[in-house]
């Protein structure tokens, strides 16, 4: 063996060179075999974490399922949520629908604030609605107005057919104006 000034050792004969090559190969092999083993350990840890999280989520879901099965949104139990429909009764007439919430006011109804105020004035009784006085033609194009849902936590069902849309609006104000 011959040492260089930089601390390296050179092998002086072939036998020592072969040993050095064998030692270098053994080091490389141990390094390369350690990497797949490390990857396998990391994959196993990730799978274990994933399975633990899945088990925890399943337990939480199972524990909450009975409670959530009977739960209702707060607005369904105390507020107002209604599906409203205007259905033309003649061939080719379509159906228009809107969703109305009050307390807080919202939904897809274009006049939600006015509709909620009109319903509030009659305590949610659709039969007491009035849109004021109106002059309507005597056209016979029947429309059916339908409301289903809750008014301040109480179930509401309303369905009534009017001779035409003008008469329906005169009878119900902004509630079915969409």
Question: Could you tell me the fold of the domain covering 74-172?
Answer: Subtilisin Inhibitor (3.30.350)
- CB count in 10 Å sphere of residue 76: 14
How many residues would you count in the chain?
A: 178
Q: Percent of the chain at pLDDT above 70?
A: 65
Cα–Cα dist 23/103, whole Å: 81
Please report which helix (H) or strand (E) contains residue 40, including its range.
Answer: helix 14-69
Residue 87 Rama label (left phi>0; alpha psi -120 to 50; beta): beta
Q: Give dist(CA 8, CA 163) in Å, integer.
A: 106
Q: What is the pLDDT of residues 111-140, one digit of tens each?
A: 999 999 999 999 999 999 987 778 999 899
pTM (two decimals) = 0.55
Q: Is the pLDDT of residue 33 over 70?
A: no
> C-alpha 157: how far from its chain's center?
27
Q: Are 167 and 118 in contact (CB under 8 A)?
A: no
Q: Locate tokens 């001779």: which residue?
A: 163
Average pLDDT over residues 89-105: 91
**What pLDDT, in 10s, does the model give residues 37-47?**
777 777 777 77
Query: Tokens at residue 64, please?
Result: 């909450």
Domain boundaries in the chain? 2-69, 74-172
């Amino acid at each position: 063996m011959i040492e260089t000034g930089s601390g390296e050792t050179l092998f002086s004969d072939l036998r020592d060179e072969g040993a050095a090559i064998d030692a270098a190969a053994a080091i490389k092999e141990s390094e390369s075999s350690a990497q797949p083993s490390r990857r396998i350990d990391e994959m196993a840890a990730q799978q274990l974490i994933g399975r633990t999280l899945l088990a925890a989520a399943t337990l939480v879901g199972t524990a909450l399922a009975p409670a959530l099965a009977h739960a209702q949104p707060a607005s369904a139990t105390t507020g107002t949520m209604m599906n409203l429909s205007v259905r033309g009764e003649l061939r080719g007439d379509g159906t228009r629908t809107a969703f109305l919430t009050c307390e807080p006011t919202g939904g897809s109804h274009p006049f939600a604030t006015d509709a909620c105020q009109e319903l509030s004035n009659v305590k949610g009784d659709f039969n007491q609605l009035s849109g004021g006085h109106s002059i309507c033609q005597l056209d016979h194009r029947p429309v059916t107005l339908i409301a289903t849902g809750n008014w301040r936590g109480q179930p509401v069902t309303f369905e009534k057919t009017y001779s035409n849309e003008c008469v329906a609006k005169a009878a119900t104000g902004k509630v079915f104006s969409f």
